[in-house]
Amino acid sequence: MPDYSVAVSELPHAIEWKDGELYLLDQTLLPQQELMEQQRTVEQVWQAIRELKVRGAPAIGIAAAYGLCVALKDRVNLSVNEFIKMAKEKAAFLDSARPTAVNLSWAMKRMVARLDQVPKITSRQLYESLIEEAEKIHAEDIALCQGMGKMGAPLIKDGMGIMTHCNAGSIATSATGTATAPMYMAHQNGVRFKVYANETRPLLQGARLTSWELQKAGLDVTLITDNMAAHMMATGQIDMVIVGTDRVAANGDVANKIGTLGVAILADYYQIPFYVACPSSTIDMETACGRDIEIEERSGDEVTTIMGKRIAPENIKTRCPAFDVTPNKLVRGIITENQIITAPYDEGLREFFKGKENG
Ligand code: MRU
């Protein structure tokens, strides 16, 4: 019987809540420096999300949930009504940090909803119930990662080459990641396979983060530049692609880090299965299709520089969409915590949530 438990404590952590204080791993410094930075204000948490100090869809939802607690820590003397009003304002503020990953607004809605579910006796009690909710979101994410690992690991066979894009790993979540969860589980169960991590320009999450965390965990990981993906597939070195996602629309279209669409089209051309792994909190049934997903446009500085060093002429025009949308027809399956959902996605996703409601 395979062992599906992975020692989460041994993996790098992006988020810590300790003695009522929030600490975030500054991922912009990796892999050179591992710095846990205390978050003292809600503005600092907003900035950390905006600047990708904390990043990855599930992680920004969890960080924002704790960020709301940071915002309200010194407001427990407010009246209950004023406290609730302020909580809603700060939740909206945190939600504005980045638009594409639905986990951010999902977490903020859940935190605000908690205020309606508890007796409104004192602001301190409301504050404590918000901490409880943030800790719950955090703890649940560990179980979700475990579930995705369990569902996805059997897809990975001895000798396979698996490509991934961006970082959908432990530091993008609170445990074994989304795309990496099946990899960690298969590795733990003795399956021997290679992971090819695309570097992921412009901010190099593949080069700086995925290759770092997988290497640290003892997986066989090889870093390639983004423009090597076609060659690796054409020469038979890739058997499967697994990526994470920031938002899945109700029809199964998938938004993920810029460059994912190109990888999916290549995988289709070379008949390589392309899987997406995500927890249910990343599936947005209120967004009908990929066209309706807001794609974050970031500063052109991310294109004209690499790690702070300018590589392009002054005054060059740039574009910097941070995500792209892969149409559902290119997706072989969506690996969730409970099942692998396959086409037709509109029906599959509806049934998935119906199943959850019915327990
Ligand atoms: O801009 P980022 O680094 O936050 O983008 C992250 C991604 O695109 C990940 O693939 C996605 O959030 C899945 S994380 C488990």
Reported as a single tens digit per residue, the pLDDT across 82-117 is 999 999 999 999 999 999 999 999 999 999 999 999
> Do 95 and 244 sit in the same domain of this protein?
no
State whether 67 and 213 are in the same domain. no
Single out the residue of 71, 52, 40, 47 nearest to residue 14, CA to CA.
Answer: 52
Could you give the CA distance from residue 343 to residue 325 in angstroms, rounded to a whole number?
A: 17
| Same structural domain, 28 and 135 | yes
- The domain boundary residue, chosen from 125, 146, 167: 146
Structural domain of residue 325, as residue ranges? 148-358
195 and 242 within one domain: yes
The reported pLDDT for the residue numbered 118 is: 80
Question: 202 and 107 in one domain?
Answer: no
Say if residues 34 and 63 touch (Cβ distance below 8 Å).
Answer: no
Distance between CA 242 and CA 233 in Å, rounded? 14
**Cα 243 to the chain's mean position, in Å?**
10
From ligand 1's centre to the CA of 168, what distance in Å? 6
Length of the chain: 359
130: CATH: 1.20.120.420
Give the C-alpha separation, 184 to 190, whole Å.
10
Q: What is the pLDDT of residue 12?
A: 95
- What is the β-pairing status of strands 340-341 and 333-335? antiparallel
Q: Are residues 79 and 223 in the same domain?
A: no
Using CB distances shorter than 6 Å, the residues near ligand 1 are: 52, 55-58, 101, 166, 168, 172-173, 177-178, 205, 244-246, 256-257, 322
Residue range 214-224, pLDDT digits in tens: 999 999 999 99
| Residue 20 burial class via C-beta count within 10 angstroms: exposed 0-12, middle 13-18, buried 19 and up | exposed
pLDDT of residue 1: 63
Note whether 67 and 110 are same-domain residues: yes
Task: Kindly state whether residues 158 and 142 are assigned to the same domain.
Answer: no
| Domain stops at, among 93, 124, 146 | 146
Q: Are residues 173 and 202 in the same domain?
A: yes
C-alpha 249: how far from chain center: 15
User: What values do phi and psi take at 225, rounded to 5?
Assistant: -80, 160
| 133 and 153 part of one domain | no
Regions of the chain with pLDDT less than 50: none
Among 95, 114, 146, the domain-final residue is: 146
Tell me the CA–centroid distance for residue 79 and ligand 1, in Å: 38
From 246, 253, 284, 324, the catalytic residue: 246
Same domain, residue pair 174 and 310: yes
Model's pTM, two decimal places?
0.97
Report helix, strand or coil for 262.
Answer: helix
**Cα atoms found within 13 Å of the Cα of residue 352, Cβ hemisphere only:** 25
How many structural domains compose the chain?
2
Domain CATH for 324: 3.40.50.10470
What's the pLDDT at 100? 98
- Whole-number Å distance, alpha carbon 122 to ligand 1 midpoint, is 38
Is residue 220 part of the annotated active site? The answer reads: no
